[in-house]
Structure 1
Amino acid sequence: MMSPARARIGGLALFAINLAYAAGLFAAMFGPNGTGTLNLGPVLGAPLLLVPFGLLMLRPVDRNAWLLALMCSGFFVFVGGITTGLTPGATVAMAMYRSLVMTMSPALFACLFLVFPARTPLDDHAPGFKWGLLVVGAALVLTSDIWPVLLGAARAADADGMLQVPLIQGNLRRAIDFLYIMGAFGAGLYGLIWNASRSPRSDVRRKTTVLATGTALTVVPWVLVVMAELLGIPAPQWLGIVAVLNTPFLPAAVAYAVVRHRVMAIPVLLRRSARYLLVQRGLAIASVLASILVAILLVGVVQRLLPEESEFGVPGAVVLAVLTGVTLARTGTQVERQVSGRIDRLFFRESYNARNVLEALAEHANSAAGRDELAEMLEAEIDEALHPATIAIYLEDQHDRLTMMASKPDGSRAPRSLDPRMETWAPLAGRRKSVLLPIGPGMLVAQSAGGDGGVAGRLSSLLHPVEAECLAPLAARRDHRLVGLIALGPRLSEEPYSREDLQLLDSIADHAALTVENIGLSEEMAERLEAQRAAEREIEVAQDVQRQLLPARAPELPGFVCAGHCTQAKSVGGDYYDFIPTGSDGLTLVLADVAGKGIAAALLMANLHAILRGHHDLTRNDPIGLLERVNRQFYASTPGNRYATMFLANFDRPSGRLLYVNCGHVPPRVTRADGGVDKLHTTGLTMGMFDTWIGESATTTLHPGETLVVCSDGVPEAMNDGDELFGDDRFDDLLRTHAHLPVAELINAIKSDVQAFAGDRRSDDLTLLVARVTA
């Protein structure tokens, strides 16, 4: 059998790379220089180019389609690429091609099947492994024997036409090749076997079974042939025959997976009109053909212009042709992208209109008045625009859970609620980008705008009943918490969601998230308003109760008049006054001020009022005993930081005697008939400050025309905008000025002067009690 290292290519025998042993073996068995009479390699290998490159034409932006096409190009060279009848320049170009694709095909095999049709655990735990294989493959290309040829060493071939200048030779090269091939093909086959047998998703197992079988039937025999040659063991002829005959299984398995299981969504593309494919894909085809034609012309022109014996003629022509071809290809790609949008609008008006619908939805999402209305709007518009088979709209409810507000079909088996605090949601909410899941047709690898396939896999498992293919998170702008989720199943047209669809869904999600936040704020405000209204109703009740505690009218005694007034700084407060009859000719006068304001002070005031009334009849003639009892009970039922000041006086009408106790209160005033003003100073401790109350009583006499004025601290401590107190002196002058007024008018005069002084700054309760002996 012919040595595989001596395969001839046209007039120039070329040692491509050590991985070409298998191709040499096949050529020895079936090639024109061997014992066979029929070269079946190109015939059986043709599907390796037709199927992958056909898919690539339909899916030019799919990374997996590119990997498949490049990988199969290397396999085609293995089987029997066209190597005869080529010009010297084309021979060198073919050598470059062989060196590149044959060496890189094992790494491309691993890169593809570690993530296709679904990402494998090996790639999850060691994502850099496949990139390492690519680096090793590139290093093998750079150390192959083709580079001396490009540098002009082609003239150094021996008499038999065999070039003996590999940069890495012998056992070292064989060892590197062996480990590289074993690692790369082993990893790729592991990925196929794992997805076919161990994948948690039945759809992935179904798609991978035939694909794994066909790939193994094609790849394994060739790997065995190459490994045998690298180990120095002659490969049996029958193994080479099996390897060649099994070649069509790989493209057949790929074609079956595409047609039967809708891998890469190719059936959707095939259903597009032939006119569309001809116009749009024809642009790409024309660009590639133009690049190749120009490159060939340049090779011929350069070879004609340079002397035949020039060492740089062929390499220079090849390099110039490659650079020119790349430039033309890039230019053609840019033109194709610009024209594609026009073609979409011309042939696929429905898709173009769908984008307009989504944009309009993004603009009007904030008009929704409630969560249900927003969810129904999202469900209806997205269904009309994208036609997904299933929809689930989750929005944050008032209990901070994600509740399904709308779904398609109705009664979906999707979870009714989700916990947004799960760690699974954190990356999705933080990224604020839609994510594609590998549930629907065409989604071979979990992918997203952020590239986090692991998160996509967990979300896919969580939302399996929805068969979610696309998730759009609704994230709050301030704290990035998840306030909603849009889960879309496969489209009824089986067409995958495009990048443009995801961008529009992101825009919708942003607007919807803002709407959910606004709805939440509106509900919170409504709750607060309702709570405020409820509190106001409660305060109104408290006001009514407090008004009931104040005397409805002043008691009538011959030759004696009295009146009272209470204005609280808030709706309710801690001030109160009282008139308690003590027989037919006596009266107890009380004015108390509980520390603090509002409901708390009002409750303590009501408590103090009840305690005082409860003990008064038992000790009406003993104010000291009365206050001791009141203090003891008030102290026991009052927080330690609460107390009350009080003025209590027993007035005896026949004698005009006023027996009083001032418990830390503002000194009451007595306006005398001669115009003087006396103060009734403190005689005891405040109420509720200590367990034991200590104090004494004092006596004064009210003569006809003399007036007792008792006020809370809201009068002397009233403050104006200049931080000036109303003060005792101003209060005394006020009393001297208005002492002649009837008691009711005197109260109004005091109120008016204090309010005029303080303006809008008055912040304390204002309570007055005025009593006068008239005869």
Structure 2
Amino acid sequence: MRSSRYSTLLRILLAMIALAGIVFWFSDTRDRFELGMHPEQHARMPFEVNADNRRVASLQQEAEHSGLVKGSTIDSLNGVPYAGIMQFIEIVYPASPGESLTVDFRRPDGSSGSAVITLAARQTLLGVPPGFASVFWRSFILFDLLPLFSMLIGYWVVFVKPDEPNAWLLLVLLLYPAVVFAWGTGFATGEWLLFRGLYYELLQNFGVLALVPFAVYFPERSRIDVRRPWLKWVILAPAVVCGLLEIKQAIGQYFYGGNSPAFAKLMTQVDRFDNALALVCVGFYIALMSDKLLSASTEDARRRLRILLAGTGTGVGALIVVFVLLPDLGFSPNTPAHLWAAYLGAVLFLLAPVALAYVVLVQRAMDVSILVRQGTKYALAKATLLVVQFTLAAVVTYRFLLPLLTQKQIPRDQLWQAVVFIVLILLLRLGFSRQSKNWLDKKFFREAYDSEQVLNELSEEVRKYTESGPLLKTVAKCVAETLHVTQIGMLLRDGATFCVTQAVGHFPGNAGTLALAVNSSTIRNLSNTNAPAELYREDPDAWYLMADEVERQTLDDLGAELLLPLPGRDRLMGVMALGPKQSEAAYSKSDLHLLQVLATQTGMALEVSELAHSLAKEAAQRERSNREMEIAREVQERLFPQEMPMLLGGDVAGHCRPALGVGGDYYDVFPLQDGRLGLAIGDVSGKGISAALLMASLRASLRGVTLDNPRDFAKLMDKVNRLVYEASASNRYATFFFGALDPVTQVLECVNAGHNAPLILRREPDGSSEILRLEADGPVVGLLPFAPYSEQSVQLRAGDLLVTYTDGISEAMTKDDEEWGEERMMAAAASANGASASEVLKIIFAEADKFTAGAPQHDDMTLLILKLNSL
């Protein structure tokens, strides 16, 4: 909770910083456009003032013609005593060319003077000709979009990882280009001038300092800093002091008419020292990163550093070459003929913020060669497909459309050509284009394209398998192709070990000899957590540290980076060991969620397969039919709850007595993830082994669809219906009731699919009793592919007795075919006043047996009783 609140506060801080950055960028861009579009509408500064001593440093023609002398000291502007650059800006920026400015001054010889200056129009910024197209292509694209792109990437990185200090350092670095390319304060006046000036000064003076801590701590702490932690402060401390002094100097220049001569003289030295410190910061960054590349403790850290150095070196180097070195050689990228060089430098610069964001965000970085190779292949393949698509469209147009357009009137017998043309163009646009894009995405970036769809479909498909071999082969192959995993080992339990049964990829020696002991640390961890276990050897979890050398060697031979448990009902059915991805990227949260659902369904399918094999094998041995029934009964018995969950304020009891050793009746009691208690009872059509198999499928389907803790029970029953329909013969179906009890509120939510309506026996304070019938209804499951269901919510009371049953109980018959009936059953339940659920269950069975008086049991008899304690 505390961590979540802390992350929220950090995101609020990020939102405030983002707002400030976007406002600064937008106002700077707007002013740049205004000056580029309408320079003649804005007055220029007629002279420049030394901001520290108020002396005129340079003159424009209009100021020189008015009599103002270079070196003069400004006393007042328009009759108001001079108070700093802020006052000068407030007068000139809102003025139009042709307006006058009165300046009172003192000449270098001490004499006083006054000048009336007629303000002249500004010239365009950076020599860009006026006009939207020129400003857009030669100013906005190069000097506004680049800092915006860097800024947005920085915000995104911090939003994704607000608790990561390196992400905040990265944000400062990526905000820095916004002031490097900015026009400063632009046309801002008043509060806007104060805001833009403060934002500009803060980033200008402190932005580059973020290089030092970033170099020290990313991706791991520098060994130089470990040995000499004071070294970074030798750079940072004086740099911070210099930055604060420069901000103080700017405040004096803008608002207080300048600074004292001693302070101005000091700041001349401070500026030189600060510029040298900026170069030291850059050199310190390069030195530490280079040292880390040689001494990184993990291969992942080395990959991050290689990507970082390659991306930033290419991006920043491109700017230096294009905008610094080439102009010194007479090759100006700002001229129309050489504008392509400026764009090339801009595009290459984008590699710097992208590389910075990538190395901070990813859990496991890919190598530079793989990034370049995959990106280049994708770009070339996509360009080739675009050329093919254009060529086909041109051929179709030339063959079908042009002959029609050359005719003044199209004969009716040639109208088919127009129809064919339209159809072919639609096929090219909607068919070929879409299919080619899908193929490219699957080929190069399939993880981001269809892993969710494929794995979700596979998790639904595995329920239909009854053979473990094809099941494991299909799952392993699909996961390998979908996520581009190089090695996968499927381990199933064989006695005291889990052995590799199915493998994808190349393993040292024979993969079939690789095994993990049942009591190994890996298996114990998977059994206890029932959750995926990531194996990050550079920062291992406790279970890996407790593993012995043999176990670690087995994991290394498997190439395991992710271990997924394949859970059964009450034991681990198997383990899926996944190796690294071809991309070298880590498994994402989405990957882990999808793989966990798939592994759960696979484990259930293995359990169902195990049950089906057990029953089918015994059924094939007709000479041992009695033993077959016994084995099947034992297997089926294991599917029923072996131990009832504890229920706050009540207890639950259930029992199934099949008519033929095995049957189709089903009941289940299991806790849901939100604390509710799930109650289920069903009756499969038919008897014997076929009914038991469908019962097992029904149970697996229910357990599968309740993994996500559903609240919409009508939708839940619809899923169960479709799953049972797909897994059963056309003449097989089942009645089914499912409910969930909240032990705190004692609210029962339920849905009924053609089953006998459960009954509630409620005793009133006066001693009388009332029988309530749950009204939720719907058709049986497994008979129709789609069926509507309604759900019901019932408020239970203390002392209530819920009786759910199959018709084998209520329709128990004597030898004379007299039916026991629902009334007798509830009368037996009422006679057990104050008894526990298990005692009520025993009484009902005993009364039913007493009534039938030894008559053969013609149907499975199942009871599930819920009893709430009295107040």
TM range (shorter): 0.3 to 0.5
Return the structure number with greater relative CO, CA threshold 8 A, min gap 6.
1
What is the TM-score when the length of structure 2 is the normalising length?
0.30
Larger Rg: 1
